Amino acid sequence: MTTTWHPTGLLEGQPAKPYGIIILNQPINRNALNAVISHAVLLVCADGGGNRLMKYEEDTELRKRLPDAIVGDLDSLSIEAADYWKCKGVKIVRYADQYATDFTKSLRWMRQEWDKQKGEDAELDVVVMGGLGGRVDQGFSQIHHLYMVHQQPELLRGSIYLLSEQSLSFVLAVGENEVYINQKSFAENVGIIPVLGLTRITTSGLEWDVSDWPTEFGAQVSTSNHIRSDLVKITVGDKRPLLTFELANGLCAAEF
Ligand SMILES: Nc1ncnc2c1ncn2[C@@H]1O[C@H](COP(=O)(O)OP(=O)(O)OP(=O)(O)O)[C@@H](O)[C@H]1O
Ligand SMILES: Cc1ncc(C[n+]2csc(CCO)c2C)c(N)n1
């Protein structure tokens, strides 16, 4: 089976499917959010993500959209930000559970909201505005969520993309993947990260293509590979690796 991916569509306002955005509590990559915010059908801030979006709103040059909700245990949302959003009529939803992260709670809320609007089978992709330069446990948790959602339809029916300081990342499917990219949205670096352990990959469209190549942490991993075509094909063995593309200069965070 072949899975096709259109990450450029997301970044250029022509998404293949409707998508929602979740803003985590990390410095916002303003250039990237500015590129995706207008076409989002839902926008949710995970707890302190509401503080980050309030700051983003101060910049008059950027595109804006009111969030549909701020979701979490609300231990990080400042009083100022809570008041700011309440005055604009934004819902603030508190889930106190100490066994789920505010990222998980935001995914659940978004899925339920889309179910209400479009019915239970309606697909919705999710773009997560994250940042891997903060706490290491939270950074790994962000990657963990990219995998976790595939087992849990109550959290996601669609694909999930992580937009961070300099990269767009997502989990490839088992089998053949065709990734259509416009080299305007991306710089040249690409990595295929075997997060789940030993798998085998075959690639085309990269500078250093490989064929039936075993990849595993501690053994060999393809990082700092280079895009050489608008179509990158990656065939994956039984364990799904993470694919990560370097964003073009204009989509990278100004500072991080
Ligand atoms: N220091 C950090 N580094 C990386 N990601 C973070 C960091 N802090 C928060 N996040 C991400 O932003 C989300 C919302 O953050 P929040 O403001 O609720 O912080 P938190 O209370 O420490 O997070 P949680 O309660 O979910 O563990 C978290 O679920 C996590 O995905
Ligand atoms: C084994 C285990 N490790 C950590 C936590 C803590 N924890 C995980 S998610 C979460 C909510 C954060 O808002 C908290 C406190 C737990 N419950 N169980």
Residue 185 forms part of a structural domain: yes
Q: Whose CA is nearest to atom 9 of ligand 1?
A: 25
68 plus 159 within the same structural domain: yes
What is d(CA 173, CA 90) in angstroms, rounded to the nearest whole number?
36
**Could you give phi then psi for residue 62, rounded to 5 degrees?**
-90, 155
Beta sheet of 2-5, edge-to-edge order: 2-5, 175-180, 231-236, 199-204, 213-215
In terms of C-beta density within 10 A (0-12 exposed, 13-18 middle, 19 or more buried), how is residue 169 classed?
buried
User: Domain boundary at 134, 165, 196, which?
Assistant: 165
63 plus 180 within the same structural domain: no
Distance 37 CA to ligand 2 centre (A): 30
For the chain (length 256 residues), average pLDDT per consecutive 10? Answer: 93 94 97 96 98 94 95 97 97 95 98 94 96 96 97 94 98 97 92 98 98 98 97 96 97 85
Instruction: Let me know how long the chain is.
Output: 256
**Could you give phi then psi for residue 60, rounded to 5 degrees?**
-70, -15
176 plus 55 within the same structural domain: no
pLDDT at 1: 86
Q: Which domain holds residue 112?
A: 16-165
153 plus 182 within the same structural domain: no
List C-alpha distances in Å: 169 to 27, 75, 93, 115, 188: 17, 28, 28, 26, 14
Q: Is the ipTM of this complex over 0.85?
A: yes
Residue 3 forms part of a structural domain: no
> Which ligand 2 atom sits closest to the C-alpha of 75?
13
Q: Whose CA is nearest to atom 4 of ligand 2?
A: 99
pLDDT at 163: 98
Determine if ligand 2 sits within 6 Å of the CB of residue 141.
Answer: no
Q: How many domains does the chain have?
A: 2
List C-alpha distances in Å: 206 to 144, 190, 210, 251: 26, 9, 9, 21
pLDDT at 106: 98
Distance 223 CA to ligand 1 centre (A): 27
Distance 34 CA to ligand 1 centre (A): 22
134 plus 230 within the same structural domain: no
pLDDT at 255: 73
Lining ligand 1 with CB less than 6 A are: 24-26, 46-49, 72-73, 75-76, 101-103, 131, 134-135, 138-139, 141-142
> Which ligand 2 atom sits closest to the C-alpha of 72?
13
Q: To test ligand 2's pocket by mutation, which of 47, 99, 148 has the most ligand atoms within 8 angstroms of CB?
A: 99
pLDDT at 256: 65
> Which ligand 2 atom sits closest to the C-alpha of 102?
13
154 plus 93 within the same structural domain: yes
